[in-house]
Amino acid sequence: MSPAPLPAVVADDPLPELVLGMLRNRVDCLPWQAAVDGEAEHAVGLYVYGHPPVDGELLDRLPNLRVISNHGVGVDHIVLADATARRLPVGNTPGVLDGATADMGFALLLAAARKLIVGDHFARGPDFGSYDPGYLLGREVHGQTIGIVGLGRIGLEVARRAHGFNISVLYHNRRPRTDLPESLQAEYVSLEQLLRRSDFVVLTVPLTAETTRLIGRDQIELMKPSAILVNIARGPVVDTDALTAALRRQQIYAAALDVTDPEPLPRDHPLLSCENLVIAPHLGSATEQTRRAMAELSVENLWLGLAGKPLRCQAN
């Protein structure tokens, strides 16, 4: 008697060996293009590793699908309403990446405030012949005020790190949080107040229709000339053209971005020429420990969905 065929799962390429090892000999992995071309009708699972768009048009080409499992917490590339309309659970990975992403936010904040990237290039270059205490003066971090836009799981971790630097915490959500730990002193304010009062503005909101271009020209104009904008959310939360113009005019002190719109930016984009910008290639959760936890959780969601069981974490 021949063994039962492996369940067919569509996945976007390239999957890392970590994920491939968890799927190997357990599923028949089909390329994403097979779904796009309508050649994966028998697929029962969809594993989303990068950020390919998933909408009703694609899902209609996969009539036997049981589950969508996303490697990551953000699901803005998946039209949840289309999945829900087809009774498809969408798994994601909240919780396991909060600390790593908050660490990245603080790394960007510190690098921008203390001119770390410019200093690194200078220290390696031919012009550094002697120490001068008057060059590359940055902004202090300790004792300042941080404004966190979106005090969810990641925002809460940013606030905890801020207290370690003796930084006063402001935050803005759709509504005040009533469940904050007593040890975490954070003041709820309007977005306008947050932008006016903060030395560091850190964006940790999910990307939705409401948060797209949340920070544009009018919002940047409210910020202090000495302020630093940090985006560890999603690129479209910030109006790229408005930020580029503001940095070129030195309207704010600096920006520090882990995400951009578009992502990646064209190599000749004017934002990339701004010296008062620190930029990373979307490394928020990019630690060995966190990526393993994300892989394990996303694959667990996949198995549960294939078995018709409730997912451990579900976005819709």
Q: How far, CA to CA in Å, does 310 sit from each of 39, 64, 94, 144, 314?
A: 28, 18, 16, 45, 8
Q: In what helix (H) or strand (E) does residue 60 lie, and over which residues does it extend?
A: none
Give the whole-angstrom CA distance, residue 18 versus residue 57: 30
With a cut of 70, say whether residue 1 has pLDDT above it: no
Is 263 one of the annotated active-site residues of the chain?
Answer: yes
Residue partners of 72: CB distance under 8 A and separation at least 6 = 92, 93, 97, 285, 294, 298
Give the whole-angstrom CA distance, residue 278 versus residue 304: 40
Domain ranges of the chain: 8-96+289-306, 98-279
Instruction: Give 3's pLDDT tier (boundaries 50, 70, 90).
Output: confident
Interval 281-290 mean pLDDT: 97
Q: Are 231 and 257 in contact (CB under 8 A)?
A: yes
Interval 66-70 mean pLDDT: 98
Is the peptide bond preceding residue 14 cis, with omega within 30 degrees of 0?
yes
Residue 12 CA neighbour count, 13 Å, CB half = 12
Q: Are 48 and 81 in contact (CB under 8 A)?
A: no
With a cut of 80, say whether residue 240 has pLDDT above it: yes
Residue partners of 137: CB distance under 8 A and separation at least 6 = 115
Residue partners of 37: CB distance under 8 A and separation at least 6 = none
Per-residue pLDDT tens over the stretch 123-145: 999 999 999 999 999 999 999 99
CATH architecture of 98-279: 3-Layer(aba) Sandwich (3.40)
Per-residue pLDDT tens over the stretch 155-199: 999 999 999 999 999 999 999 999 998 889 999 999 999 999 999
Instruction: Calculate what percentage of the chain has a pLDDT beyond 90.
Output: 97
Instruction: Calculate what percentage of the chain has a pLDDT beyond 70.
Output: 99
Catalytic residue of the set 187, 263, 296, 300: 263
Token pair, residue 141, equals 């971090």
Q: Are 297 and 272 in contact (CB under 8 A)?
A: no
Give the whole-angstrom CA distance, residue 8 versus residue 5: 9
With a cut of 70, say whether residue 69 has pLDDT above it: yes
Question: What average pLDDT does the structure give for the chain?
Answer: 97
The model carries a pTM of 0.93
Question: Which residue, 252, 270, 259, 255, is CA-closest to 212?
Answer: 259
Give the whole-angstrom CA distance, residue 9 versus residue 25: 12
Instruction: Give 4's pLDDT tier (boundaries 50, 70, 90).
Output: confident
* Burial (CB count within 10 angstroms: exposed 0-12, middle 13-18, buried 19+), residue 216: middle
Catalytic residue of the set 61, 71, 197, 282: 282
Q: In what helix (H) or strand (E) does residue 76 lie, and over which residues does it extend?
A: none
Q: What does the pLDDT read at residue 2?
A: 63
At the topology level, CATH places domain 8-96+289-306 in: Rossmann fold (3.40.50)
Helix 98-113 / helix 116-124 crossing angle, nearest 10 deg: 60
With a cut of 90, say whether residue 245 has pLDDT above it: yes
Q: What is the CA radius of gyration of the chain?
A: 22
Amino acid found at 71: H
Catalytic residue of the set 66, 172, 197, 234: 234
Whether the domain at 8-96+289-306 and the domain at 98-279 fall into the same CATH topology:
yes
Interval 81-105 mean pLDDT: 97
Is 234 one of the annotated active-site residues of the chain?
Answer: yes
Q: How far, CA to CA in Å, does 34 sit from each of 6, 95, 149, 236, 300?
A: 17, 32, 40, 29, 24
With a cut of 70, say whether residue 50 has pLDDT above it: yes
Give the whole-angstrom CA distance, residue 39 versus residue 48: 18
Q: Are 94 and 313 in contact (CB under 8 A)?
A: yes
